[in-house]
Copies of this chain bind each other. A is one copy, B any other.
Amino acid sequence: MNQSTARKGGDNGQEPKNHILTLPLEDTPVERSPHTHERWLIAKLMRMAGSPPIRFLLWNGDVVEPENQHPEFTLQLMDPKALYTLVANPNLAFGDLYSAGRLRVEGDLSELMEALYRSVHQARQKWPKWLETIWRNHSPRSTGISEAKENIHHHYDLGNEFYQLWLDSAEMQYTCAYYETPNLTLEQAQLAKLEHVCRKLRLKPGMTVVEAGCGWGGLARYMARNYGVKVHAYNISRQQLNYARQEAHKQGLDHLVDYVEDDYRNISGQYDAFVSIGMLEHVGKDNYNALSELIKRSLKSDGIALLHSIGRNRPMLMNAWIEKRIFPGAYPPSIGEFMQICEHGDFSVLDVENLRLHYAQTLSHWMERFNDNEEKISAMYDEHFTRAWRMYLAGSIAAFRAGSLQLFQVVFSHGDNNQLPRNRRDLYDFPCAPEEA
């Protein structure tokens, strides 16, 4: 993994790494006129992408207007090689070139990306086979126990300091929030999410819960604090666990919450509830059966399980750039693949809720705070890193808004369990979100 970009910023005994691959900026400015075949390539590229309303501004100041429509966005190509890189592998190159500053965007980045996603989604159904082949996504990285540690370290150990700049200050939730009403703050919506999850699990004081992939431990603390349950929370990101333990200690929850530094596959014991928020994306399809078997043996006979994960409407590889540069090993399952986890364990699916547009709103809130802290972040890492993360956040907003990504909360139980909630009315008895602080 490329670690060429040194971290510049402060430290707290943490050693954040920046694994974003750096494509070099051309070191001499290019001012030559574009060749005819280069203009032809751009026109071809745009047609293959379904003719989105995009104008190209080239290295020498020349402009290529979109065919038959008014441009809504401008893409600036800083050098001719950027064009060739983009055409050869747009999935990967778009993000890399943007991160390197060799492709620039005028207009709202997430709106441009949404327009692109919608347009490509339509267009690719008519792509010739050879184009599918050369532009195809790659296979995601392995998610075996040792690779998982590396994958998770790559992203989640960038430094708590970094994530604190743009995640909610309530519980450091790096997953989809629940905007029960449209004007909630990020903090309210994240607490509403935690409450919504607890209600779906029908927690009662004295119950035991196991959590697979606990992030900074917010859900575990929320459950202990508000529902009086005992939680075993697993994570392999040491930096997150350090934070989680300190917070639990501060809040006097040590007797209820046990943060375990271990792979979820090593969960032992039996619990009233099994919960995992935003980990399934990192599990990998090859491990679904094992996960299913793990839940099967970890859940008491009348227990309830909840998996919350980014997903798809149909099977599709993760965007190559996100998978390579941001989330190694990530794969969001289609709803059908998700259900295979339940089928394998002979579980009964009780409830599926799709919070897709809630994730777009969550990401917009993150992006606002990220942008407010751009200078700090560039000082901690560098501008390449900042651009890459801006692309990741904007692209994710776009993907959820365009329907390329979904957010599924799936509740299930053992197949022969008749101790079930009668219906879902109790989830809505009173608001999940706290009053604004």
Contact = CB atoms under 8 A, between A and B. Distances in A.
Interface of A: 118, 121, 178-182, 313-315, 334-336, 339-340, 342-344, 346-354, 356-357, 401-403, 406, 408, 415-418, 420, 422-425, 427-428
- Among all A-B residue pairs, the 9 with the closest Cβ atoms: A352-B352, A336-B339, A428-B428, A403-B415, A314-B343, A403-B416, A425-B428, A335-B339, A350-B354
B357 A420 contact: yes
B347 A313 contact: yes
Contact of A348 (B313, B336, B420, B424): B313
A262 B25 CA distance: 65
A12 to B, nearest CB: 38
B343 A118 contact: no
A356 B417 CA distance: 11
B336 A403 contact: no
B313 A357 contact: no
A401 B418 contact: yes
B314 A346 contact: yes
Given A314-B344, A425-B428, 7 more contacts: A118-B416, A180-B423, A335-B349, A351-B352, A352-B352, A353-B424, A403-B417
Nearest to A180: B423
A180 B425 CA distance: 8
Given A354-B351, A423-B180, A424-B424, A346 B416 contact: no
A428 B430 CA distance: 11
Contacts of A121: 416
Most buried by B among A336, A347, A353: A336
A338 to B, nearest CB: 8
A415 B313 contact: yes
25 contacts: A118-B416, A121-B416, A180-B425, A181-B422, A313-B348, A314-B346, A335-B339, A335-B342, A335-B343, A336-B339, A336-B342, A339-B339, A348-B354, A348-B403, A349-B354, A351-B352, A353-B423, A357-B418, A357-B422, A402-B416, A403-B416, A403-B418, A424-B424, A424-B427, A428-B428
A237 to B, nearest CB: 30
B422 A428 contact: no
Contacts of A180: 422-423, 425
A424 B351 CA distance: 12
A354 B422 CA distance: 10
A77 B180 CA distance: 60
Nearest to A312: B343
A350 B314 CA distance: 14
Contacts of A352: 349, 351-352
A16 B149 CA distance: 67
A313 B354 contact: no
A356 to B, nearest CB: 7
A352 to B, nearest CB: 4
A214 B406 CA distance: 32
A343 B416 contact: no
A200 B170 CA distance: 33
A428 B420 contact: no
Nearest to A192: B423
A86 to B, nearest CB: 25
